[in-house]
Amino acid sequence: MPIITASKTQPTYDVIVVGSGAGGGQTAYTLAMEGVKVLMLEAGRNYDPVKETAMFQTNGQAPLAGSSTLDKPFGFHDATVDGGWQVPGEPYTSASSDPTRQFWWWRARMLGGRTNHWGRISLRNGPYDFKPYSRDGLGLDWPIGYEDVAPYYDKVEMLIGVYGSNEGLENTPNSSEGVLLPPPKARAGELLAQKRAKKLGLPVIPIHRAVLSVKQDAERIPAKLHPQNPTAQRILAQAMRDRAACFWATQCGRGCSIKANYQSTTVHLPPALATGNLDILPNAMVREITMDENGKATGVIYIDRITGEAHALKARVVVLAASSAESVRILLNSKSPRYPNGLANSSGLVGKYIMDTVGARLGGQIPLLENMPAHNEDGAGGAHMYVPWWLYQEQKAGKLDFARGYHIEFQTGRSMPGLGAATAVAGLTEGSYGRKFKEDARRYYGTFVSFAGRGEMIPNADSYCDLDPTVKDKWGTPVLRFHWKWSDHETRQAAHMQRTFAEIITAMGGKPNKLDATGLQAIEPGGKIIHEVGGTIMGVDPKKSVTNQWGQTWDVKNIFVNDGGPFASNADKNPTLTIMALAWRASDYLLAEMKKGNL
């Protein structure tokens, strides 16, 4: 059962999975490994990072020195081959013309979705993060706790390979013994930041990232993940042997031809395909879920993006993992006389309480790093260190003017130069040229630092999406309209980020760039961090939520949502690891319900 065309689909499947990224990939893997016949529908084209990743090309070999363009927002070498905040023929709209009320919606139209280019930062939600309302009276509690998800965090980390360390810090959970891979050494700039930030009371510790710092243990891990399934063990062991350890030479956002970092296309899908239980149909944009007279889902209708033709497919269960907003769009467009407001929407909450990560950034130049001897500091295509939120107790005591927290990601080191680095050097030298410019370039190369905050947004009633009443995509399907608003909690948080970053840069002996003391200008637009979640929130009450603790919709028992949609809150931790853990947990429940005959 390989990657197929529309004419090769089966009459019916056990499960249709819509989407091939973190949630869809994990769902397909879990089900296929247990013998379930799965069809995965991907709206974008097929993509093979082993064949398509430009591992060793420099920016100088790329158009415009690799700089970003409208169709490649993260630069020429970024793995997103089709997609971005704007996709031709697939618009979305905003309910407000106010720039501060706009939402940026990123879509990756390719097999593997966003997992091909993401930052691989894999942080666990902590106990506080599942019960935020109980802690400060704001937002919503999840119907589950950390203890419910912890075993699945272990499973996902062992499957995909995550490096890092256990530090035992507040609400920053440790992984089980033997789960994490060893972290890479810190770079010179990271060590300086660690030393100077410590004086400010900030813990700078190894970050958790989904990159193989060493080869996986293919003899031990498969038996842990699939203890009663020798076939799955054999397939997974081979898939793990096919992955190489990182050789610290290429930005992870390009994808990885040696499979050292996690991508759905190199980690989840190959073993799932090897079972013979998975079909993958690319260029299939799902428009709606079909229903029978008893109110049960029967399958989906999708549009072939190449021909524009509509096709129907059947399955016992439909799993939406198309990304939180796209799954909302599918549910809202699945209208009928029985469901005039869309599927799973008896609560009226489909599309409500969407969230993104609070983001703000500040950089500076560090004289202590000037004229360093030439050395290679590429490392694992991203951060080796970070700062987890450190002010839980001060916040609980009411000493801060905002709720929730943020972690700090930062960039130092002698990474591959681009036009931005040349511009920064020119700003310091007032336009030197010739021999002097070469000397200045060597002097300042690697001396620039950049700090970025990634913080929690509290869900609010003013941030949601619905269907635009008039605008449709190129195939005639209504598009999403976004309503967005940051609260004072988020803008004050962004202001705190700015002050903290300036303090760190100053402590490192540097001069920070101009900061925004209010946070109003520094805070990134909604959606810009590409961490949107919510829209099909989980809960204990069908009147106040869309899904139950398993991501199963209250209204239609054979529809599950296995992406970020069911998130009841959006902690400062990057959501991808939690999406995968919840998808694995939901898939185990789905399997049990199928065996009982309930689905």
One DSSP character per residue, 57-81 reads --GGGSGGGG---SS-TT-TT-S-S
User: What are the residues whose beta carbons fall under 8 Å from the beta carbon of 595, sequence distance 6 or more?
Assistant: none
- 509 shares a domain with 580: no
Q: What is the pLDDT of residue 420?
A: 65
Query: Final residue of a domain: which of 501, 522, 543?
Result: 522
Residue with tokens 């499957």: 159
Q: What is the pLDDT of residue 588?
A: 98
Beta strands per DSSP E along 296-404:
297-304, 310-320, 358-365, 385-387
Evaluate whether residue 310 is within a structural domain. Answer: yes
Evaluate whether residue 193 is within a structural domain. Answer: yes
- 518 shares a domain with 388: yes
Provide mean pLDDT across the span 310-316: 98
Q: What is the pLDDT of residue 381?
A: 86
Evaluate whether residue 218 is within a structural domain. Answer: no
- 146 shares a domain with 11: yes
Q: Which domain holds residue 32?
A: 1-52+69-162+258-357+461-483+532-599
As beta bridge partners, residue 457 has 570
Residue 427 scores a pLDDT above 80: no
Give, to the nearest 10 degrees, the angle between helix 22-33 and helix 230-241.
Answer: 130
Q: What is the pLDDT of residue 1?
A: 46
Q: What is the pLDDT of residue 54?
A: 86
CATH of the domain at 539: 3.50.50.60
Q: 45-49, 52-56, 290-294, 466-470 — which is least confidently predicted?
A: 52-56
- 560 shares a domain with 466: yes
Residue 418 scores a pLDDT above 90: no
**How many angstroms separate the Cα of 278 from the Cα of each of 136, 295, 370, 379?**
45, 27, 54, 35
- Residue 71 CA, chain-centre distance (Å), reads 20
Evaluate whether residue 11 is within a structural domain. Answer: yes
Residue 198 scores a pLDDT above 70: yes
What tens digit of pLDDT does each residue of 280-304 get?
999 999 999 999 999 999 999 999 9
Evaluate whether residue 195 is within a structural domain. Answer: yes
Residue 451 scores a pLDDT above 60: yes
Q: What is the pLDDT of residue 415?
A: 77
State how far the Cα of 255 lies from the Cα of 263, in Å rounded to an integer.
8
Residue 90 scores a pLDDT above 80: yes
Q: Specify the higher pLDDT residue, 402 or 427.
A: 402
- 410 shares a domain with 324: no
User: What are the residues whose beta carbons fall under 8 Å from the beta carbon of 289, sequence distance 6 or more?
Assistant: 297, 299, 300, 318, 330, 331, 334, 343, 559
- 470 shares a domain with 338: yes
The pairing of strands 297-304 and 310-320 is antiparallel
The domain tally of the chain equals 2
The answer to whether residues 474 and 516 touch, using CB atoms and an 8 Å cutoff, is: no
In single-letter form, the type of residue at position 506 comes to T
- Count Cα atoms within 13 angstroms, Cβ side, for 167: 21
- 47 shares a domain with 126: yes
- 368 shares a domain with 353: no
List the Cα angle 427/429/434 in 5-degree steps: 120
- 569 shares a domain with 466: yes
Q: How does DSSP classify residue 401?
A: S
Give the count of beta carbons closer than 10 Å to the beta carbon of residue 540: 12
Q: Specify the higher pLDDT residue, 549 or 59.
A: 549
State how far the Cα of 127 lies from the Cα of 129, in Å rounded to an integer.
5
State how far the Cα of 147 lies from the Cα of 531, in Å rounded to an integer.
24
Evaluate whether residue 439 is within a structural domain. Answer: yes
Provide mean pLDDT across the span 148-156: 98
Long-range contacts of 242-247 (CB under 8 A, 24+ apart): 242/270, 243/161, 243/212, 243/215, 243/216, 243/267, 244/212, 244/215, 245/212, 245/213, 245/214, 245/215, 246/211, 246/212, 246/213, 246/380
Q: 59-63, 360-364, 475-479 — which is least confidently predicted?
A: 59-63
- 31 shares a domain with 121: yes
User: What are the residues whose beta carbons fall under 8 Å from the beta carbon of 40, sequence distance 6 or more?
Assistant: 16, 17, 19, 20, 24, 28, 278, 279, 280, 281
The answer to whether residues 91 and 117 touch, using CB atoms and an 8 Å cutoff, is: no
Q: How sure is the predictor about 422, in pLDDT bands with cuts at 50, 70 and 90? A: low
- 424 shares a domain with 277: no
Q: What is the pLDDT of residue 47?
A: 96
Q: What is the pLDDT of residue 426?
A: 73
Provide mean pLDDT across the span 324-345: 96
Evaluate whether residue 586 is within a structural domain. Answer: yes
- 335 shares a domain with 472: yes
The answer to whether residues 147 and 357 touch, using CB atoms and an 8 Å cutoff, is: no
Residue with tokens 């020195």: 65
Evaluate whether residue 217 is within a structural domain. Answer: no
What tens digit of pLDDT does each residue of 204-254 get?
999 999 999 999 999 999 999 999 999 999 999 999 999 999 999 888 999
What tens digit of pLDDT does each residue of 163-177 get?
999 999 999 999 999
**How many angstroms separate the Cα of 52 from the Cα of each of 48, 136, 256?**
6, 48, 9
Residue 70 scores a pLDDT above 70: yes
